[in-house]
Structure 1
Amino acid sequence: MQAVVLAAGKGTRLRPLTEEKPKALVEVNEKPIIEDIFENLLEIGATEFIVVVGYLKDNIIDRYGETYQGIPITYAHQREQLGLAHAILQAQPYIDNDFILILGDNIFRANLGDVVNRQREERSDAAFLVEQVPYEEASRYGVLDTNEYGEIVKVMEKPDDPPSNLVMTGVYTFTPAIFRACQSVRPSNRGEYELPDAIDLLLQSGHTIDAIRMNGWRIDIGYPEDREKAEEFLTGKPKPMYED
């Protein structure tokens, strides 16, 4: 399965770490975030990396070139950072079939392979890892609203008043149906084309979407203190806070 890695962001909240490098090259435990992601994707059988680059893109291209451990890398350029749905569309010309998508600012030690397996076995239009976080943190993420049976009825991006604390983690599989949905979304109040809005369009139009509970842990490297927390987890100091 092809793997799309979104690595175009500026990482303004991580400054000064991102003043001279893109967020994906910030090191966690002496390894760039994107390299940790590549290794996770290798473990679950990725056959090609399609890396969406933008801010200081040459730093990534010069460092990794055309392959990583024998896996070919194709680069797609997002000239303006207009949201994740817009970023995914930059990869569309290089996608042949179903693909896995991973955000380039997370450190994972979790069941990423379960998402790929579900896509292959169930032939759903999308699948993604989800986790429960404290309610006060849910507004940082794409939030899932569920009915009394636990079925997903709506997906929303960073709501001010989250309907639940069940959030997407940044690992997804999609069929090419996601591209039409991304083309159909309108800019949010932030002026961006949001991926949760595209997923919600899939959902509302009757496409099959599977949410898989994360088993393990992940840390979204949004602030310098998140990087420090991830290093503590990787070196085995504390136990993960959110673990199924």
Structure 2
Amino acid sequence: MQAVVLAAGQGTRLRPLTEEKPKGLVEVDGRPILTHCFEQLAALDAEELIVVVGYRAGDIVDHYGEAFRDIPITYTRQEEQLGLAHALNTVEEHVDGEFMLMLGDNVFEANLEDVVRRQRESRVDAAFLVEEVPYEEASRYGVCDTNGYGEITDVIEKPDDPPSNLVMTGFYTFSPAIFHATQLVEPSDRGEYELSDAIDLLIQSGRTIDAIGLDGWRIDVGYPEDRDEAERRLQEIAGNEPSTEAVHGTNDD
């Protein structure tokens, strides 16, 4: 499959780490967040990386160039950061069939291959990696409801009163049907074109979306302390002791 990576955001919550670089180039355990994403997608046999850039786009293009480990990179630009569905619309002309989608601010150590396998073998319209989080944290994410068959029946973006604690993790597979839905989405109360609203349109049209439970962990690197936690976990995997910088954070990367 091709793989789409959304990396256009400003990363305002990550400041001061993003004052002089885009969020995707903030380093986690010595490598940019996007490098972690690209490595995961390479391990899933991505045939092309389609990267949506925006804030400090030139920094990302200059860093990675035209390929990552012999996987060609195509860049599209989201001129205004108007939501994930808006960002996804920029890649439609470059996508040939079913594809992977990863949010470019996540670090995974998880069963991503199970999501890809479900898409390939079951021919569903989409499959999402989901996880259970504490209820008090669910309002930070897109919250899912599922039926007894493990199919997603509803998605609500950052609800004030979450109907469940099952949330999307930032890794998905889609059929091209998602593009028709993203084009129909209206701006939300936040003024953004929400991916969750496009997904809801897919569900309402009778499309099948499967939920795959997270086996492992992921860190949504939204704040400096999230970067520190991701570093700590990666260093544990590598058998290294976390450095003082990893625990307390620095502003020099």
TM range (shorter): over 0.9
User: Residue 119 of structure 1 aligns with which residue?
Assistant: 119
User: Residue 198 of structure 1 aligns with which residue?
Assistant: 198
Deviations along 1:22-43, one digit per CA (max 9) or x if unpaired, are 1111100010000000000011
* Mapped partners of 1:226, 1:130: distance in 2: 19
Q: Is the 8 A contact 2:150 2:211 kept in 1?
A: no
- The unaligned stretches of length 5 or more in structure 2 are 243-253
| Deviation (angstroms), 1:232 | 0.8
Secondary structure of the equivalent of 1:201? helix
Secondary structure of the equivalent of 1:235? helix
Deviations along 1:137-191, one digit per CA (max 9) or x if unpaired, are 0000000123567643211100000000000000000011000000111111100
Secondary structure of the equivalent of 2:90? helix
User: Residue 241 of structure 1 aligns with which residue?
Assistant: none
Q: Is the 8 A contact 2:151 2:209 kept in 1?
A: no
| Deviation (angstroms), 1:92 | 0.7
What does 1:48-197 correspond to in 2, within 5 Å? 48-147=48-147, 151-197=151-197
* Mapped partners of 1:150, 1:91: distance in 2: 29
Deviations along 1:199-242, one digit per CA (max 9) or x if unpaired, are 1110111001111001100000000000011111111169xxxx
Secondary structure of the equivalent of 2:202? helix
Secondary structure of the equivalent of 1:73? strand
Secondary structure of the equivalent of 1:100? strand
User: Residue 27 of structure 1 aligns with which residue?
Assistant: 27
Deviations along 1:4-56, one digit per CA (max 9) or x if unpaired, are 00000000000010011111111000100000000000111101000000000
Secondary structure of the equivalent of 2:91? helix
* Mapped partners of 1:175, 1:68: distance in 2: 24
- The unaligned stretches of length 5 or more in structure 1 are 239-244
Aligned length: 238
| Deviation (angstroms), 1:93 | 1.1
Output the TM-score relative to the length of structure 2.
0.92
User: Residue 242 of structure 1 aligns with which residue?
Assistant: none
Secondary structure of the equivalent of 1:144? strand
* Mapped partners of 2:193, 2:128: distance in 1: 19
* Mapped partners of 1:67, 1:53: distance in 2: 15
Output the TM-score relative to the length of structure 1.
0.95
User: Residue 246 of structure 2 aligns with which residue?
Assistant: none
Secondary structure of the equivalent of 1:230? helix
* Mapped partners of 1:36, 1:149: distance in 2: 32
Pair 1:224 & 2:241 matched: no
* Mapped partners of 1:152, 1:213: distance in 2: 12
Secondary structure of the equivalent of 2:191? coil
* Mapped partners of 1:119, 1:70: distance in 2: 25
* Mapped partners of 1:21, 1:81: distance in 2: 16
Identity %: 69
* Mapped partners of 1:158, 1:20: distance in 2: 28
Q: Is the 8 A contact 2:21 2:56 kept in 1?
A: yes
> Alpha carbons of 1:98 and 1:108: their partners in 2 closer, same or farther (altered >3 Å)?
same
Secondary structure of the equivalent of 2:189? coil
- Amino acid paired to 1:44: L
